[in-house]
Structure 1
Amino acid sequence: MRAARPSAARCAARSCGCCAARGRHHAPAVQSLSGDEFRAAVERAREYIALGEIYQLVLSVRFSGEHTLSPFETYRAMRLINPSPYMFFFDLGDVQVAGSSPEALVRLHGGRAALRPIAGTRPRGADQAEDLALEASLRADRKENAEHVMLVDLARNDLGRVASAGSVHVDPYKAIERYSHVMHIVSGVQGELAPGRDAFDLFAAAFPAGTLVGAPKVRAMELIDELEPVRRGLYAGTVGYFGNNGDMDQAITIRTLVFSEGRYSYQAGAGIVADSVAEAEYQEVLAKSAILRRALAMAEAGL
């Protein structure tokens, strides 16, 4: 006896495994930089660091391909596998955006400002013992910690430009936060907004995030333009709100998928410093983007 196929009504009511067979698929991603090209870009960035032009540079890779998926089903998959502080889906007509970002650029509530730099990454372990070992490795990693301290100092400097004198402080400092595929070192930089300053001043002081471009920011962005072959688009931007009451909350658009004209794209990067190892940085890019590949696969399979 042949098994009955799910009815159209059932498929409309909930996702099922027949969706891929009905034409939902995505092509394997093409990278803006191959592994070898990314590693070469890392070495070029290290040369600029050795020359004293920058202290750190965040290099990224775009992954893109054709698809016939439902962007909203992909967002549902992201909610299942990577619940994050900032979950968002926008249908803008010709463009859809689905994101599960762990990182705030800046928040402002009742005159109190907070930046939340994330720098320092390890993949999650297969079990608790491996996970704890990876956390210990991350905490002990001199390169990752030096990078984090530098970006915390950059965030303090950004906030200090618009905060009341003496109000800027760090809390928490070097906390470990875990997500579905990676763990990060996270700190909080806080302060009181100075009289005469508002949310727009604060945003202008903080954007773009040092954790997504490097330091110093202007020269880092110039080198990103040189070393990355495609414009970043929405990647490393923000989504959020400016409230009528003067409050603001802006999330950085990482772990984000963009759908447009039958194509999907996503992007991930790694912070390059003087003692970076090119292969390790490339593996970090792959680890950070793994959740997006998994979400696409789940949407294709029907969750």
Structure 2
Amino acid sequence: MRTSLNQTIKNPEVFKQQLLCWAQQFDDVVLLDSNDYKDQYSNYDAVLAVDAFTSLQTDYIDAFERLKEYQKTTKDWIFGYLTYDLKNSIEDLESKNFDGLGFPDLYFFQPKKLILIKGDVAEFQYLNMVDDEIESDLLAIEQSSNINIQESKHPIKIKPRIHKDEYFEKVNRMLAHIHRGDIYEANFCQEFYAENSVINPLEVYNKLNQISKPPFATFFKSFDKYLLSASPERYIKKEDDKVISQPIKGTAKRSKNEKEDLRLAENLANDPKERSENIMIVDLVRNDLSHTATKGSVQVEELCKVYSFLQVHQMISTITSKVSEDIHPVDIIKTTFPMGSMSGAPKISAMKIIEDLEETKRGLYSGAVGYFTPKNDFDFNVIIRSILYNETKKYVSYSVGSAITAKSNPLKEYEECLVKAKAMREVLES
């Protein structure tokens, strides 16, 4: 059981920063921040969960069944992540590529302390065992400051896992699969990394969030492992009997010149290659949602709409379905995972080819982070535009990718990857 207390806050932006600074004392921290981005499916402006009471950590074997049992037993808020490699739990697949980060395949925890922000109200939801700490925590939060956070003085030397010529060769091999009819589309990703590197995760997250302002920003800490995410993409959400998926496919750079910027957005909206990418994934998501949907309830609410973020223009579609009460929420995720926007079509064939051509185990990249509520609702983002850090190994990593279709030009795909990587590189090398 949880004790709930509402507190009016003067400045939500300042309060979020204070919350994050205060939260650094805990081993388990999740901040989910919408950066005031509001659409019809928004519930909170930000959510902070800290201090695990119970937790679940596992490899991919029977991972979804274990998560289902944990979620059913807990009957409470749980926060955590699903790595891309949980695909091996669903299909006869494997992940044998290099892994410099070492994140567990699945991790969720039940927070003792939960703070939900909406407008100028912060709702404190504490487990009863710690509810006597709400007042003292509120005082400590209001006194928190990032003034004492040391900036990283060591320059980070970023290296590509796949060099440019090798990237072209691999994309051409993927195009050969497409022309042969093995697949229609696949998301091909590459890692950029730094070894023997020390960063200040809070400082890096703040800089990344500041220059991107995405709707699904995440600061995630589990002991010595960090996810610092500026994701613009929702993977999947359940609210009552409605399920919402919002895949992104199609990217264009921004321009400081207003007319040029508008032209870039219009070009993206009308680009046949980008639209075909998006529509293929919409079809895949419709099929995935149909596994748990009530008959005839899968709908495309929005197709190929261009949204503008600080770093890029993105083409987003919204697909929804209805589910009956007897469908377990974890089964909705299992039957749609990994998300179509980060795999390809047909999904299983695409994932096999991806594994063969990529050099790095994806791990948390192109997985999902989010939460389940006590009412069996959930909301998860797609882990892209994200920096991953293993503090013990001193290993820093970010990955970027693009969708390869029959109309792909390897040079343009490479350039798209660099556009997506721009914010992460700037933050780490500044």
TM-score, length basis structure 1:
0.89
Measured in 1, the distance between the counterparts of 2:268 and 2:277 equals 12
Query: Is 1:77 matched up with 2:207?
Result: yes
Match of 1:185 among 297, 315, 322: 315
- 8 Å Cα contact 2:233/2:381 also seen in 1: yes
Please state whether the residue corresponding to 1:194 is helix, strand or coil.
Answer: coil
1:106 maps to a residue whose letter is I
- 8 Å Cα contact 1:100/1:256 also seen in 2: yes
Say if 1:128 and 1:15 are closer, same or farther in 2 by CA, change over 3 A: farther
Please state whether the residue corresponding to 2:154 is helix, strand or coil.
Answer: coil
- 8 Å Cα contact 2:269/2:305 also seen in 1: no
Measured in 1, the distance between the counterparts of 2:154 and 2:199 equals 5
The CA deviation at 1:68 is 2.3
Match of 2:169 among 40, 43, 47: 40
Equivalent in the alignment of 1:213: 343
The CA deviation at 1:72 is 1.1
Equivalent in the alignment of 1:52: 181
Measured in 2, the distance between the counterparts of 1:14 and 1:294 equals 23
Measured in 2, the distance between the counterparts of 1:51 and 1:12 equals 55
Query: Is 1:273 matched up with 2:405?
Result: yes
Once the two structures are superposed, the pairs formed by residues 214-233 of structure 1 within 5 Å of their partners are 214-233=344-363
Equivalent in the alignment of 1:155: 285
Gaps of 5+ in 2: 1-144
Please state whether the residue corresponding to 2:335 is helix, strand or coil.
Answer: helix
Query: Is 1:122 matched up with 2:248?
Result: no
The CA deviation at 1:195 is 4.3
2:396 maps to a residue whose letter is Y
Measured in 2, the distance between the counterparts of 1:249 and 1:15 equals 31
Measured in 1, the distance between the counterparts of 2:426 and 2:329 equals 36
Query: Is 1:145 matched up with 2:279?
Result: no
1:55 maps to a residue whose letter is Y
Q: Deviations over 1:69-125 (max 9, x none)?
A: 201100011221111111111222221111111111110011110000110111111
The CA deviation at 1:288 is 0.8
The CA deviation at 1:63 is 0.4
Measured in 2, the distance between the counterparts of 1:194 and 1:110 equals 10
Equivalent in the alignment of 1:13: 147
The CA deviation at 1:294 is 1.8
Measured in 1, the distance between the counterparts of 2:310 and 2:212 equals 5
Gaps of 5+ in 1: 1-10, 299-303
Equivalent in the alignment of 2:420: 288
The CA deviation at 1:132 is 0.8
Equivalent in the alignment of 1:7: none
The CA deviation at 1:55 is 0.6
Q: Deviations over 1:197-232 (max 9, x none)?
A: 121111011110111111111111111111001111
The CA deviation at 1:187 is 0.8
Say if 1:94 and 1:42 are closer, same or farther in 2 by CA, change over 3 A: same
Measured in 2, the distance between the counterparts of 1:275 and 1:209 equals 22
The CA deviation at 1:297 is 3.4
1:32 maps to a residue whose letter is R
Measured in 1, the distance between the counterparts of 2:402 and 2:231 equals 16
Match of 1:94 among 216, 224, 249: 224
- 8 Å Cα contact 1:58/1:212 also seen in 2: yes
- 8 Å Cα contact 1:65/1:264 also seen in 2: yes
- 8 Å Cα contact 2:241/2:325 also seen in 1: no
Q: Deviations over 1:150-188 (max 9, x none)?
A: 111111111111111111111122211111221111010
Match of 1:165 among 277, 295, 320: 295
Measured in 1, the distance between the counterparts of 2:423 and 2:194 equals 16
Measured in 1, the distance between the counterparts of 2:272 and 2:161 equals 30
Please state whether the residue corresponding to 1:13 is helix, strand or coil.
Answer: coil
Measured in 1, the distance between the counterparts of 2:146 and 2:279 equals 50
Measured in 2, the distance between the counterparts of 1:145 and 1:229 equals 28
Please state whether the residue corresponding to 1:46 is helix, strand or coil.
Answer: helix
Aligned residues: 283
Equivalent in the alignment of 1:254: 384
Say if 1:95 and 1:290 are closer, same or farther in 2 by CA, change over 3 A: same
- 8 Å Cα contact 2:219/2:229 also seen in 1: yes
Equivalent in the alignment of 1:61: 190
Identity among equivalent pairs (%): 31
Please state whether the residue corresponding to 1:206 is helix, strand or coil.
Answer: coil
Measured in 1, the distance between the counterparts of 2:313 and 2:374 equals 35
The CA deviation at 1:295 is 2.0
- 8 Å Cα contact 1:55/1:216 also seen in 2: yes
- 8 Å Cα contact 1:199/1:246 also seen in 2: yes
Higher strand residue share: 2
Please state whether the residue corresponding to 1:149 is helix, strand or coil.
Answer: helix
Please state whether the residue corresponding to 1:290 is helix, strand or coil.
Answer: helix
Please state whether the residue corresponding to 2:176 is helix, strand or coil.
Answer: helix
Please state whether the residue corresponding to 1:257 is helix, strand or coil.
Answer: strand
